[in-house]
Amino acid sequence: MENKLSRCISMCRIFILLFVAIPLGGRAQTLNIYDAVNKTIANYPLLQQRQAEVSAGKAHLTAVNGNRLPSLILQDQVSMGTDNSLQGAYFSLGIVPSTPGSYSNVQSSPNAGNVAISFLKWEFYTFGYYNAQHKEAKSQLAVSEANLNSDKYQLTENIVSLYLDWLKKYRLLQIQNENMLRSQVIFTAIRATVLSGLKPGVDSSTASAAYADARISYLQALDNYNYDRIAVGTYAGIYSPEIVPDTSIITPSLLQNMAFVQQVDSVISSHPILEVYHKQYEQQLAANNTISKEYLPRFGIDGAAWSRNSGISYNGAYPGDLADGMPYNRSNYLFGLSLTYNIFDLKHRHDALAEGKYRADATQSAMQMQQLNLNTMLQQANSTYASTVEKLKEIPVQLYSAQQAYGQQLALYRSGLNTLIDVTNAQYVLLQAETSYVNMQDELLQLLYIRAGLGGQLDNFLQKFKR
């Protein structure tokens, strides 16, 4: 009676564990790889940051285009003070007020005045400087857009790789679950024969240890699965313990379904990661062009018109009433054509252009290095793909043979024609074959998405899994 109770308790523990650990089909939420990528791109904060940078680049382009406009400054002021002018020149520092008028040996009394000024300045010809600014701002916007596309691509790569790993661990969890059930079947069969005296007691102890080991492996597989489930859910913005991967990706005709991913021998020149370096190189060239134009002469139109009054009369008499200086009584205007050129800026231009050239060379070298790394990755993926396909063709034969061997060894053991070691070995071979099959299919999918990404076929790859 005690033995039967022990067996019932063991079975209940297994079913409770399975019920808690594996989402039931009725309430599980299947997340396919296409939706996982789209939800990640829609919710990931980094892409929102990059999108804001693109918007800032567009606003900067608009702001730079406004540099062509003239400046028109309007000012009206009412002032009160003394008028003690002195002969002699000085450099104005921008804070020294003007006190025009003739020199007098009499200390002036306070007087009032007012002035209204409009000042126009327009550099209408700058030898291409405005156009260079526009092109530089446009190239900066292109860099921001390239960064956005590159981050989208790399984020897609990360979530696809993580999703495929999650799918693999989900299938390995199912394999460990089936292996645990097999261990339970063996343990139950052995206990019956041991209790009837047909088998030695050591077989029961050995089977119990094997069952415990199978449970430990299952729990470890469950931890691995949940780790990736949480990571995928965090990327996609889905915080539910009931999401499961779409296992329909794995079909017997997996190789035929993936035939649309064509082999390419080199990374496409418009690859999103390479585009970042390319746009940065173009942006540096545009910045160098802006520098070369910045130090050229500039033709401008300057104009001013003003009206003013002063409480001091034309003969130098000071007013009795400060209000006498308020109405405007004199108006003037001044217009001129100006040429501005600082010949000593030639040295600055030379140094700035030298710095810009080195930065452009560094960016170009970085792009070439990145292209080399991506091509190496592609060649490795192409090389591994061929052997992976061949291995994947052989594994079903191995799996079928292992299943047959396990069933036969278990039947022979129940008939008393072999030992527990024979059954355990067959069970281990079957577990390894099942695990190898899952790992090999995962390796194939990982290689396919790497080839698709480097060959410009990533969108087609994801569309294949759209549901």
DSSP label at 107?
Answer: P
Question: Domain check: are 290 and 319 in the same one?
Answer: no
Question: Domain check: are 143 and 106 in the same one?
Answer: no
Report residue 102: phi and psi, to 5°.
-80, 160
Per the structure, the count of domains in the chain is 2
Which of 311, 340, 369 delimits the end of a domain?
340
In angstroms, the CA 384 to CA 65 distance is 52
Question: Domain check: are 177 and 142 in the same one?
Answer: yes
What the block records as the tokens of 191 is: 């206990």
pLDDT score of 254 = 67
Q: Which of 457, 448, 334 is nearest to 392 (CA)?
A: 448
Question: Domain check: are 149 and 26 in the same one?
Answer: yes
Question: Domain check: are 22 and 35 in the same one?
Answer: yes
Question: Domain check: are 288 and 210 in the same one?
Answer: yes
At 156, which amino acid appears?
Answer: T
In angstroms, the CA 392 to CA 412 distance is 31
Which of 340, 371, 402 delimits the end of a domain?
340
Which domain, by its residues, includes 306? 72-125+298-340
Which of 321, 340, 359 delimits the end of a domain?
340
- Within 8 A by CB and 6+ apart from 41, the residues are 47, 152, 155, 156
Torsion from C-alpha of 83, 86, 87, 90, nearest 10 degrees: -100
Helix (H), strand (E) at residue 438: helix 420-454
In angstroms, the CA 243 to CA 245 distance is 7
Question: Domain check: are 109 and 204 in the same one?
Answer: no
In angstroms, the CA 40 to CA 159 distance is 8
pLDDT score of 10 = 45
Report CA-CA distances (Å) from 194 to 29, 190, 198, 410: 44, 6, 6, 16
pLDDT score of 13 = 42
In angstroms, the CA 411 to CA 324 distance is 123
> pLDDT 10s digit of each residue in the chain, 467 long?
334 434 443 444 444 344 344 554 446 788 888 999 999 998 888 888 889 999 999 998 898 888 888 888 888 787 767 666 666 666 666 666 666 666 566 666 666 777 888 988 888 888 888 899 899 999 999 999 999 999 999 999 999 999 999 999 999 999 999 999 988 887 777 776 666 665 666 667 777 788 888 899 999 999 999 999 999 999 888 888 889 998 888 876 666 666 667 777 888 888 999 999 999 999 999 999 988 888 888 899 988 888 877 766 655 666 666 666 577 777 888 889 988 888 877 778 888 888 889 999 999 999 999 999 999 998 998 888 888 888 888 888 889 999 999 889 888 877 778 877 888 888 899 999 999 999 998 998 888 888 888 888 888 888 877 77
What the block records as the tokens of 35 is: 């939706």
In angstroms, the CA 81 to CA 261 distance is 85
Q: Which of 210, 206, 222 is nearest to 179 (CA)?
A: 210
Question: Domain check: are 447 and 305 in the same one?
Answer: no
- Within 8 A by CB and 6+ apart from 229, the residues are 166, 241, 243
Helix (H), strand (E) at residue 59: helix 45-65
Question: Domain check: are 179 and 50 in the same one?
Answer: yes
pLDDT score of 176 = 93
Question: Domain check: are 286 and 413 in the same one?
Answer: yes
Question: Domain check: are 99 and 163 in the same one?
Answer: no
CATH code, domain carrying 244: 1.20.1600.10
Tell me the CA end-to-end span of the chain in Å, nearest whole number: 53
pTM of the model: 0.77
Question: Domain check: are 25 and 58 in the same one?
Answer: yes
Q: Which of 375, 368, 374, 145 is nearest to 277 (CA)?
A: 368
